[in-house]
Chain A
């Protein structure tokens, strides 16, 4: 994992001091709320329904045990004993007091973390594939370039007051788990015939009010030129992106209105100018220094199978089910990638208590080379666990209600905080996720249904990624009452697609039945081996619509 050096420590420390001063000036009345609001937002502090909310960045979704323990500590000392993992691989605290936040940030800085640029119209926390460095057939660990991007984009003097927020995601794998086509910039690490590493760049994806799949802008930007290329995209956007209407200010709208060709021409022209200066090619020694932090941990040479694990699978059916659902093969023989579901039946998607966070931190320390990952689907990952240790890890997770065997299944729902917490919400999201998971609580039924991604947002901002859910649910408001709109056929992977709205919205009382109708329709129509999304793509919306509005 990346470790701060003196530069990082100094900058983050100075930022905390700066923010402490700003909070003091606000509380004393020297700063008005108008003047203070942009400052607090730049430091990740929002005002929500019941209290302030602090969003802490988890760069490219990687945490050490010490860092996760700090989140537990913060949850206990400054909050109400829990944190919420978001679809941007961040963690949010729902109840901190404003005047305590500088102290909180100071403690956070001791474990090399911060809340910088987790809000505001700047380049946000870079996200990446949660299986980075653990999955087989990866071109390169995406965290290396993500860390370089993190540094380049932090306190960027030119790009901190963009037309709108800006999100970058990176994957080094053909199977896209980072939803890169739904980001302002999506980066796929590629290797050309000569064996050189470079980057395929997608620009202009996004969700919200007007969802777009990103357009491929460049096939192969050589490694040394990536920052120059990114700076070119950012400059074209900052200079020519719309600011007259905040709904039209994201780069996706600019790409759409300008046209893909013209956008490419603008970017390439700017790129040529920036690249000519060579100012942004990272010195080899520095690139090497950063990649060394992401080198393989000291894996043991182990056989590809584990007798201990196989015996346990035979003896314990629950364990066997968990292995089947939540374990992903590792690139190294004898190891596995362990997914920890934060979606217990009836629970709040993405929430973890202080005790749970500490338990996961302990497990990571003992069994996963001190590493934890956060996924955009609001789960956690222990990336490098020995097959021999799986049963022990499982038992420990089980004891903390962290062993729900539902990864990728209907109860593994993404849900934004919605109207239970969020100031912008139209409707609640969490209770819906809870009711759906309770309706489909039976795991065998879930396995029978197979891979099905339900994603719920409490308003059109789409933090719950409803546009790209196989089944998407959007909360809408009619005169202070909650309604829910269904869309079908969305997908966030390498075959990304935007879902289509089925029709009129459902009430709080009828929405879960409607979801069940969609599932039944799929089951009635599916052919051998088809997942929900396959069936949907084959038969289209109509059969679902007929049954829903019969």
Chain B
């Protein structure tokens, strides 16, 4: 799981999978779990990252999400994007089935 690591990253966000259906979710600024990456709260610096992850770990989240962890994100102009291929794929869906996953929902909405 080498792609799991976010060591040395400046910007980080927290992700997990939802208990009921495994959907990829992101921790938002108001401590909700959102289904899309742009809604994720971004921490700047290692200490902020730790604090962000700490918000994800309270026991009541156990009931809603699985295995929250930090991952690296990169600043891209005014926006952020996941750094690793793994997180890009989690945020979008399988690259071999563009009709499935979040990328497909996004298409339907637009």
Contact = CB atoms under 8 A, between A and B. Distances in A.
Q: Do chains A and B touch in the complex (CB under 8 A)?
A: yes
B93 A50 contact: yes
A80 B90 CA distance: 17
Interface in B80-95: 83-87, 89-90, 93-95
B20 A420 contact: no
A267 to B, nearest CB: 35
Interface string A284-321: 00000000000000000000000000000000000000
B21 A98 contact: yes
User: Quick one: which of A348, A423, A424 has the most chain B CB within 10 A?
Assistant: A423
Interface in B58-110: 62-63, 66-67, 72, 83-87, 89-90, 93-97, 100-101
Interface stretch (A26-34, A60-68, A126-134): A26-34
Report whether over half of chain A's contact residues are helix, strand or loop; otherwise say mixed. Answer: loop
Contacts of A434: 96
A428 B62 contact: no
A402 B108 CA distance: 30
Contacts of A29: 62-63
A477 B22 contact: no
A434 B85 CA distance: 18
Contacts of A97: 20-22
Given A50-B101, A426-B2, A419 B22 contact: no
Contact of A348 (B67, B83, B96): B96
B1 A424 contact: yes
A427 interface: yes
A50 B96 contact: no
Nearest to A434: B96
A164 B6 CA distance: 29
A99 B2 CA distance: 30
Contacts of A424: 1
A47 B89 contact: no
A119 to B, nearest CB: 15
A420 B101 CA distance: 11
Contacts, number: 84
Contacts of A425: 3, 86
Contacts of B72: 480
Contacts of A99: 20-21
A155 to B, nearest CB: 27
B101 to A, nearest CB: 5
Contacts of A431: 95-96
A97 B21 CA distance: 4
Contacts of A50: 22-24, 90, 93-94, 101
Nearest to A433: B96
B2 A477 contact: yes
A230 B90 CA distance: 42
Nearest to A34: B62
Interface residue range, chain A = 20 to 34
Contact of A98 (B22, B87, B89): B22
Given A49-B24, A98-B20, A421 B86 contact: no
A495 B89 CA distance: 39
A26 to B, nearest CB: 8
A97 B18 CA distance: 10
A15 B100 CA distance: 32
Contact of B19 (A27, A48, A95, A421): A27
A50 B89 CA distance: 9
B66 A33 contact: yes
Contacts of A443: none
A428 B21 contact: no
A144 interface: no
B36 interface: no
A348 B100 CA distance: 14
A488 B7 CA distance: 34
Interface in A396-443: 419-421, 423-428, 430-431, 434
Given A33-B62, A50-B24, A50-B90, A481 B19 contact: no
Interface of B: 1-3, 17, 19-24, 62-63, 66-67, 72, 83-87, 89-90, 93-97, 100-101
Given A425-B86, A428-B85, 18 more contacts: A27-B20, A33-B67, A49-B24, A49-B90, A50-B22, A50-B23, A50-B93, A51-B17, A52-B21, A80-B100, A97-B20, A99-B20, A420-B89, A420-B94, A428-B89, A431-B96, A434-B96, A481-B84
28 contacts: A29-B63, A33-B62, A33-B67, A47-B17, A47-B22, A48-B22, A49-B89, A49-B90, A50-B94, A51-B17, A51-B21, A51-B22, A52-B22, A80-B100, A97-B20, A419-B86, A419-B89, A420-B94, A420-B95, A426-B2, A426-B3, A428-B89, A428-B95, A430-B96, A480-B72, A480-B86, A481-B84, A482-B85
Interface of A: 26-27, 29, 32-33, 47-52, 80, 95, 97-99, 348, 419-421, 423-428, 430-431, 434, 477, 480-482
4 nearest A-B residue pairs (beta carbon): A480-B84, A51-B22, A97-B21, A420-B94
